[in-house]
Amino acid sequence: MRRTALLASATLLTALLPLTAAGSASGADEPAPVPVDRFEGEVPFANQPADGIFTWGGDTDDPPALRLSDRADASEGAKVLTGTYEISGYGGFTHDFAADQPAHDWSAHKGIRFWWDGQDNGKKIAFEIKDGGANGEASELWTTSFTDDFTGWKQIEIPFTDFTYRTDYQPVGGIDHVLGLTQMWGYALTLPVGVKGQFAMDDVELYGKADQSLRASVTTDSVVYPVREGGTAQVKVSVATTGSAPIDEPVTVAYEAGGGTAASGSDYVPVKGTITFPAGTASGTSRTVQVATRKDKAAESAETVPLELTVTGAKAPAETPEVVIDAHGLPYLDSRLPVRKRVADLLSRMSLEEKAGQMTQAERAGLTSQGDIATYALGSLLSGGGSTPTPNTPEAWAKMIDSFQLRAQATRFQIPLIYGVDAVHGHNNLAGATIMPHNIGIGATRDPQLAEKTGAVTASEVRATGIPWDFAPCLCVTRDERWGRSYESFGEDPALVESMETVIQGLQGRADGRDLDRGDKVLATAKHFVGDGGTEYGSSTTGSYTIDQGVTKVTRQQLEAVHLAPYQTAVDRGIGTVMPSYSSLDVLGDGQGPVKMHARADMINGVLKGRMGFDGFVISDWNAIDQLPGDYASHVGTAVNAGVDMMMVPYTYKDFSTTLIDEVKAGRVSGKRIDDAVARILTQKFKLGLFEHPYADPGGADEIGSAAHRAVARQAAAESQVLLKNANGVLPLKKSQKVYVAGSNADDLGNQTGGWTITWQGASGDHTQGTTVLQAMRRAGGDVTYSKDASAPLNGYDVGVVVVGETPYAEGVGDVGNGHSLQLSAADQAAVDKVCGAMKCAVLIVSGRPQLIGDRLGGIDALVASWLPGTEGDGVADVLYGKRPFTGQLPVTWPKSESQLPINVGDASYDPQFPYGWGLTTLTRVPEGNAVTLKALALAAAVAERAGSAQAGRDIVTKARLLVQQKVGSALTASVAAPFADADHLLLTGKYAAAVAKLTEAYRAAG
């Protein structure tokens, strides 16, 4: 659930308000009630970081309407909080305390209470409190509810012991799962859905005295204690109090081992006793219980020894600690055996339930309990976009994932989890990681070696945080720039996409998988199979999306040549996993019509696994099976039978696992199909070395965001810049020039990095570490003045640089027509007009796709497609100031108007603003020549082609391209553009002579 609300919060009240409240009496041994809200106007309806009450909801109609009303029957004072609501999705209101003031300490009290004007509608109302974290919107949520089954005012009392950790939504993914009560940030109410209602509320206050069983708790230093057979587990038992005060009364902990799968006496030494923490014991004091295991000569699976704890005088641990005697002596544990033998041995021992668990992937924040990892024998967890630990540091990531892996050690065969994350342009969920340009920019570099380097940096940073699996690269061939995922594609030409698949080797290492167990490599994922980049505009049926997850209508020949081709390359490069697309595929003439890719057995089983020989495993997209027709059982059966091996079911992992088991028992999914899926999954786990090293290796953590890694990102940013126009040599800039910088994207790191950065959709502003274009220009030594909206005086400057473009988005949320367009914003247009009307100017477009700039092109001296360059703005400054030459080429066609879309290289009608492959250069020596020169280059290209000399062929075609661009200048016509674009496609397919022939055609067409 995502809250789409105006955030607000409130100033500290505790020390400022009277400490009494009507209708409440304090006993001599209890503290006086402490007001939280009186609703007399002391708390405004306001935004953070100030103190305030705010509403929220699933859509614009869901937030309730609130006001402070005079009521003669008010429980306290003259006013109460009243509201009306009619909620279809979800909605409610929150009081957040001031974010710029200290959090409140509620630990001395028994609970929270308030007066509620009952409407007797029988509806449950959720009440949650906010514990720990940075502020009310970055805290941990604890929830309970009360039922409105009465009429008139009633005081609702809720002891803090009634609150439970909220499992369906946590704003920061959860913190420590402990209700500490010492750092409280407010409360929230979720109102009933599906009724038109009203409410009144008054006098929220803390009441009663906290007894020690609430303030004091007994914990263990772990929940799972793996130990080799014959070893001794050390279970540390501690007592702690909120506020770290000594305990007031004695706390006793009786312990006894037993009740697990291990046999007392033969597998472990019986242990029983009592620990006493006397009154006055300091918070944090620990005692150790030892559980010794016995060794025999038998090979065995893992066995468990629960250590039952009975606590008096404090809160007991939420879970019973468990000693696990490691599995040993079994063939699958022998790293000297071939992987196929290890897989066969383990598979032969597993139950159906354990196999179903391996095919199940849950979201880490969607776990009802971490214990479910063992209970359901889960095979995988993931972090979706923005699902991060708190704090968002490499150490916290490693610690979190290690805690999940520890849970997997409590299973019978101790099969490690494989943890996945969308690291699509660097480890983009991790604050401080090196963020590369998005794929559209990498495609613009035309540099396969650099693509491989970016993959290697990403893999190193991802694996250093304990994550062995990356849901990248995206091998989509983007055919319509209105698609919200355009920037995830390397380009519109399958030949370009194939050339950039060197990134797979950067991520995984050698194609045979022998490098996967290295500490700087990860399992990669080719996505989204197949045709996700070819969906028709208006064909999507997902919410308000217009093109994403829609229907791709193609002939069989188009499917093979455009969309399938990159996947054969990926399979040849040893890709470990493949993710099907949300979209539907409609192959014209096959009689099936549009079919969701997760249901297309002909494509997954038949083409991918069969014809292409893919031997990795197929992972579904996020909740994708829910989009299949029929009931849930048919969703599961259809997808599994189609060839999907592991299902990404973030919050419904229990339902999926049990349904899959039922489908197998009913005979609708065969045991052979299950064994095939699980064998594929286990094979990759063995290749990754997870059985030998399941935990994070922090050895590479120091390299995260390092200078060496950022140097690669800087090079990628520089090479991705495409110079579209450069009248009168405006670029490169000279450091002696006075430069006026303007535009919305000149000094905004969030806009520069785009979607899939820290959060799923990305965000404007500073949310990670990096250098903006403006900062980089200053660091480069430029004489720079900045005015975002160009409102500062414009006289006295040599040149202007206007950095404009898009704000972040991801997937269908970013589809054109879904609140987005390809037009510059009014503010950006105004900045361009002001600056370019006053001086020579260069316009940089920071965006995930082409923007429609034709109506202003005449007034712009230099135009640069900057794409989404990532955190290293220095790379952009490098080409602006001539430290590096512009060498980038368009990975997609730049349209004149939206009515031309879709427009792609090879189209019968092709008249773009700039053709595919276009890219001017600022090299000091630009090749010169004429038709005679081109004729000589054509002969040389033919020789290089016959000799199989790829580098020589590319160099020859590049010379011809630059020569043609120099002649064409700004006189681009359809007769020039079409052969020019065709030439770049031919170059990428190794047809160098034909490429020069096409460039010669473009040269002649230029007149």
Contact 869, 827 (CB under 8 A): no
Half-sphere exposure of 429 (CA within 13 A, CB side): 25
Return all residues near 785 (Cβ < 8 A) that are at least 6 apart.
Answer: 738, 739, 740, 741, 792, 797
The token duo for 533 is: 């980049």
Chain centre distance of CA 262: 41
Return all residues near 85 (Cβ < 8 A) that are at least 6 apart.
Answer: 62, 64, 65, 91, 191, 192, 196, 197, 198, 199
Q: Where are the beta strands (DSSP E) in 512-664?
A: 525-529, 551-554, 577-580, 584-587, 595-596, 617-618, 647-648
Contact 518, 585 (CB under 8 A): no
Instruction: Quote the CA–CA distance of 734 and 977 in Å, as a whole number.
Output: 32
Contact 887, 523 (CB under 8 A): no
Choose the catalytic residue: 488, 520, 811, 872: 811
Instruction: Quote the CA–CA distance of 648 and 876 in Å, as a whole number.
Output: 38
Q: DSSP letter at 605?
A: I
Segment (H or E) for 980: helix 974-988
Residue 725, phi then psi, degrees to nearest 5:
-150, 145
Q: Which residue, chain included where needed, has tokens 């066969």?
A: 344
Q: Is 798 a catalytic residue?
A: no
Choose the catalytic residue: 372, 501, 548, 621: 621
Contact 530, 563 (CB under 8 A): yes
Pick from 214, 279, 275: which is nearest to 241 by CA?
214
The token duo for 793 is: 């005086």
Q: Is 747 a catalytic residue?
A: no
Positive or negative: CA dihedral 860, 865, 869, 875: negative
Instruction: Quote the CA–CA distance of 398 and 915 in Å, as a whole number.
Output: 46
The token duo for 210 is: 């906290």
Contact 334, 342 (CB under 8 A): yes
Q: DSSP letter at 415?
A: P
The token duo for 47 is: 């935004």
Pick from 710, 207, 647, 159: which is nearest to 434 by CA?
710
Return all residues near 526 (Cβ < 8 A) that are at least 6 apart.
Answer: 473, 475, 504, 566, 567, 570, 575, 577, 578, 579
Which residues does residue 116 pair with via DSSP β-bridges, in sequence order? 154, 201
Half-sphere exposure of 880 (CA within 13 A, CB side): 34
Chain centre distance of CA 323: 35
Q: Cis check for the bond before 49: say yes or no (omega within 30 of 0).
A: yes
Contact 476, 529 (CB under 8 A): no
Catalytic residues: 621, 811
